[in-house]
Amino acid sequence: MIKIRKLLILLWAVTSLQAQSPMKPIYLDNSQPVEKRVEDALSRMTLEEKVAMCHAQSKFSSHGVPRLGIPEIWMSDGPHGVREEIEWDSWGAAKWTNDSCTAFPALTCLAATFNPDLAHAYGVAIGEEARYRRKDILLGPGVNIYRTPLNGRNFEYMGEDPYLAARLSVPYIKGVQQSGVAACVKHFALNNQEMWRGHINVELSDRALYEIYLPAFKAAVEEGGVWSIMGSYNKFRGQHCCHNDLLLNKILKGEWNFDGVVVTDWGGAHNTQEAALNGLDIEMGSYTNGLSSMSVFTYEDYYLAKPFLKLLKSGEVPVSVLDDKVRRILRMTFRTSMMGERPYGSFVNETHSLAARRVAEEGIVLLKNDKQFLPVQAGKYKKIAVIGENATRSMTEGGGSSTLKVKYEVSPLEGLQQVYGAANVVYSKGYSTGPSVYGRVIAPKENQQKLFDEAVKTAREAEIVFFVGGLNKNHEQDCEAGDRTSYNLPFGQDDLIREILKVNKNLVVVLVSGNAVAMPWLKEVPAVMQAWYLGSESGNALAGVISGTVNPSGKLPFTFGQKLTDYGAHAFDKLSYPGDSINQYYKEDILVGYRWFDTKKVKPLFPFGYGLSYTTFEYGKISADKKVYAATDVVKVSFTLKNTGTMDGAEAVQIYASQPKASVIRPAKELKAFKKIFLKAGETQTVNLDIKVSDLAYFNDKTHQWTVEPGDFVLSNAASAGDVKSAVKIQVMP
C-alpha cells in the first residue's frame, strides 16, 4: 500500500511539472511562420553549433544541432533517380537491400518531350522517392547549357536553349519540393565541359552570361522557388564558382533575391576567406576521411569548419556573415525535415513507373523514316535481328554521380522480344565497349572482329535489323569527369553499320546517347531514332514507339551538326574549346546551338526542335492580336494545327522571334514559346500562345539592364528551328 501511495505521488509530481513547463519553443512550433522559427532557433545556438551546420559530417550529410533537436541534412544524388546508400565516409556501397530505385529517363530525354506537364510529373515521382528514402536535398536538376557535343555530362542537362531549359526545370522543381524535399539546381554556373573542370577559368561576355547561361537558373529561383543551388567546379573570371562573389552574392542572392542554400559541388571549396564571404553556405567534399585518426584532412578541417571558426573568433569575418548562412540552412530545414505535415513519400510503384515510361515515350525522337519504313507492326516479320551492345547493356549504371541501383530495368532487347516474340528475335552483340569504370577507360576483353563478323552474319539471315548502338555512359563517352574524344560513334560502330547495309538494307538505327553523334551512313539507312538513356522502362518505351503502339512526338533539345567544327564552340581555336588548361574563352558569345547554325547559315544534320511523327500536321498562318505593342504588353499569337494523317499524335509547336534591324548583334531567331498539342487523326485545333514583349529584350552590358529595343520584330510558328511555317511582323513602340 505504501509503495502504491509513493507511485501515485510520483505520477502527480511529474504531471504537475509538465503542466508548469514552458510552452514549446517557437522553432519547434509548426504553426509559427518559418522566419520566426528561424530567428528563434538561431538565437539559441552557440557559435560552434552554427559553424558545424556549414560543413559536411559524412559523404552525403551535414550537421544538425542535436542539443536543440534540429536534425542533420541528408542529400542524395539525382537527377534521374535516388542514388543507392553509400558508406558514411567512403564511396563504397552500403549494400542495403531496400535502396533500389526507379530509374527515370535522363534529363535530355525530358527536354525532348517539350512537355512541362510531364516535367512536373517527373519531379513529383522522383520527389516522392527521395522523401521515402528520407532525403532532404535531391541534387538536381541540371540546367547547364549544351555548348559542345563533347561535354561528358550533357545527358544530365536540358539542351542548348535557355528558354526550353527554364520552362522544364520550373515544374520539375515544384514537383520535387511538394514532397518536402529540396531540389538543388546545378551546376551554377558555366560547367559546360568536364575536361579540366576543377580549375578551368571561363571568360565570356555579360551578354552571353545573362542571355544564354543564366536564364534557367534564374527561372529556378524566381519561378520555381528552388530551395538550394549547387555551385560548379570551374572558375569564372578568376574565382571558383562555389565561392564566386559575382555569381553568388551579386547575382544569385542580390539580383534574384535567392533565400535558399548554396551547396558546393563535392570538393568545390578552395579558400576559407572566399568561402566565408562570397556566398557559400554548406561545404561538401569527397577527398577527405572524417572518421579515421590516420586522416590528414577531416571534416573538422574543412574550409568552413575550424578555419572558419578561427576567423570568426578573431573578428576577421563578422558573425553576421555566419548568421546569414545558418538562417538559410534553418529555413531549408523548416521547409523539409521540420516541415509541418510533411508527406511520407512512396517508392518504386506503378505510378512512378508510368511517369518514367511516359517521359521515355514522349522523349524518343524519330530522326528519319523514309517511305514510312516505321512503324514495324507485330507479326510483319518472322526473323528479326537485334544487333548492338546497347540492346542488352544496363544504361542506369555508369556516367558518374548519376549512376543508379535500380529495382528493375527493361532492356531494348527484352522490350522488342515481348512485342515481336522471343522466337522471332535473334540477338548479336556486334561490338563490346568494356566495363563501366569511373574515371578510366577499360578496354574490352572480347574479340571485336569475331563479334563484328557474327553480327554481319546475323543481319544477312534476317528480314529486318534493329541496330541499337550509340554511347553508353563509359568514361569519355557520356560520363562525368571526362569529355568525349571524338564526334563519331566508338568501337567501330560506323563500320559495322556500313557492313550491315551491304547485306541487309532493312535497317533501323537506334542511337542511345545523351549527345549528338556523326552519322556518315545516314543517307543509306531508311530509319533512325534517337533514344537517349530511358531509365527503367527503356525497353517498353522503345518497343512501343518502334511497333507503333506509341506515336513518336519527341523533338531535339539540341542541334545535331554534320561535323564537330559546325558548332560555334569548335569553330575557333582551342582557347574556345577546351581552353589551354588554365583559361577558356567563349568566342561564339551568344550564338550557341541553333543560334550559331542559323545566324552563320551552317546547315545542320538535324536542327534544334526537330522530330518526326507517324502522322502529319498542317500549320495554319500565324497571326497576332494587334500590330503595335508597348514594352509592357503581351503579344497573343494564334494559328491552327491540323492532324492530317491517319494516326492520333502530338506535335510540339514552337514560336521563334527575330529582330531584323537591331543596334546590336541578335541571333537569326530565338525560341520564345512552345506547346505540345495532342490531336486525334483529322482533328484541328486553334493554338494560342502568349509572348511577353519584355521577353524580346537583349541584355545591355553597358547599362546592365534588359533592353527592349523599339522597332519591328518577326514572330514565326515552326515545327523546328529549320522548319518555319509562317511569320507575322509586329512593332514595338518606345
- Classify 113 as helix, strand or coil: helix
Task: Sort residue 435 into left (φ over 0), alpha (ψ -120 to 50) or beta.
Answer: beta
Place of cell 533512325: 528
Question: What H or E segment, with its residue span, contains residue 51?
Answer: helix 47-52
Cβ atoms of 716 and 655 within 8 Å: the answer is: yes
- Of residues 233, 242, 215, the one with CA closest to residue 590: 215
From residue 548, alpha-carbon distances to 126, 581, 665 in Å are 28, 48, 45
Residues in CB range of 554: below 8 A, 6 or more apart: 109, 112, 113, 114, 362, 363, 364, 365, 366, 530, 611
- Of residues 226, 204, 208, 207, the one with CA closest to residue 217: 226
Q: How many C-beta atoms surround the C-beta of residue 729 within 10 A?
A: 11
How far from chain centre, in Å, is Cα 465? 32
From residue 174, alpha-carbon distances to 22, 182, 341 in Å are 38, 9, 17
Q: Are strands 201-203 and 235-236 parallel, antiparallel or unpaired?
A: parallel
Cβ atoms of 712 and 729 within 8 Å: the answer is: yes
Residues in CB range of 588: below 8 A, 6 or more apart: 568, 569, 571, 572, 576, 596
Q: How many C-beta atoms surround the C-beta of residue 183 within 10 A?
A: 31
265 is catalytic: yes
Which of the residues 265, 281, 483, 566 is marked catalytic?
265
Cis amide leading into 79 (omega within 30): yes
Cβ atoms of 614 and 548 within 8 Å: the answer is: yes
Cβ atoms of 555 and 112 within 8 Å: the answer is: yes
- Classify 524 as helix, strand or coil: helix
Cis amide leading into 412 (omega within 30): no
- Of residues 370, 394, 373, the one with CA closest to residue 466: 373
C-alpha cell, 279? 556566398
Q: Identify residue 268 by its one-letter amino acid code.
A: G
What does 398-464 look like in DSSP terms, one character per residue?
Answer: -SSTT---BS----HHHHHHHHH-GGGEEEE---------TT------S-HHHHHHHHHHHHHT-SE
- Classify 275 as helix, strand or coil: helix
Question: What H or E segment, with its residue span, contains residue 466?
Answer: strand 464-470
What are the backbone angles phi and psi of residue 727, rounded to the nearest 5°?
-145, 155
What's 579-615 look like in SS3? Answer: CCCCEEECCCCCCCCHHHHHHCCCCCCECCCCCECCC
Q: Which residues are catalytic?
A: 265
